[in-house]
Structures are given as C-alpha cells and as structure tokens.
Structure 1
Amino acid sequence: MSSKVIIDEDILKVSSRQELKEKFLEVVPVGKIKELPAGSKDEKIGAYCYENGYDLITADKRAYDKFFRDARIKSVIISNYGVFKEGKRLIYRIQIIN
C-alpha cells in the first residue's frame, strides 16, 4: 500500500485535501505536476502511478479499466475510500499491485 496518492480531477472540488494530507505522506492533484497536466487520461495516470509508486483517489468507477491498457499493470485493488460530505460522492482508492 502506497503512502503517496494522486487525486483525480473529478474529486478535486469535493474532496478535503487536508483530510488526505493527514492520511498520506504525499498528495498530488492531477494538473499540479508537469507529468500529469489537467485533462490527463486514465491510462496516463495509471502509468504514472505504476512508475512512481502512487495510488489513485477518484470517483471514477471505471478508471481502473484503462489502467490495464498498460501491459505492465496486471492487478489492482479497488477500495471504497469513503464518501465526501461536500460532494456526496463515493470515492475509490485504486492501488496497483503486481
């Protein structure tokens, strides 16, 4: 399990970054680093997570599906991370395990 997470754009407005910073050593929103500019596709996010040891926090139920387009990614764990009160959305944590 990683102590670093990428925050997908779909939850940037509904998530509490402070809450995430209390749980993880490193919290990086999509769009805040040059390798993952705003609008990055799930395949690119998955590859970045794989290469750099990050998990993904997202509300996109199907993001993991596109991770498998990268032949290096063989298995993921999808967990119910919680429901953020502000957005009333179910949030998932996707962990790449190989």
Structure 2
Amino acid sequence: MPAPRLLVCTNHMACYRLPGDPGGTDVVLAAGEALLLGANSPIANVSRHPYQSLGIIFYPDSLRLYGIRHAPHDQDITPDPLRLQHHNYVHPAPLSEDGH
C-alpha cells in the first residue's frame, strides 16, 4: 500500500503478522485497539476467528475508509444490517489502488 494506514479493531480480536526473522511478529488487537502502519509496510491477516475492523488509508489528497468483516476461510459470517463484508465508503470520491 503506497500510503500510511490505520487498522482499528472494532469487534472481537484481530491478529496480524508483521514480517521479520524468524517468521515475523504477530500483533493482536482487541476491540478498540489500533495499529498504525507507514507507507509500503507489509502486513498479513492471520486471524483464526471472525472480527470487524475499520481501515483508514491516508492518501495525500484524501482518505479512504473501509469497514471490514473478516471470517476465516472455514467459517461463515451471517450478514448483518450494515453488510460490511463487501462494501466500503470512500470519501471524497472513489480512488484507484494507487490513490488517484
């Protein structure tokens, strides 16, 4: 990701893996906790349980906000009224992945 971003766990617990030796470092976020990443910082989602989060990407001329509902591959999450699993809100306008 070419811009800094903030990951905020909003429900349950999220687990991310930061690269490093040996095997990387796991960071666990409880509801209400956040992780701030610099531009081009690699990260992997390694959560084994469902959770919800908010992702904020700080592009130079705008913000991109994502509401995310994660379910591991072997689990199913029943859709809720917010339908967070497939939608995002982008302000001020939709952007490409490179921020333009």
TM-score normalised by structure 2 residue count: 0.29
Structure whose residues are more often strand by fraction: 2
Structure whose residues are more often helix by fraction: 1
Query: Which entry has the higher C-alpha Rg, 1 or 2?
Result: 2
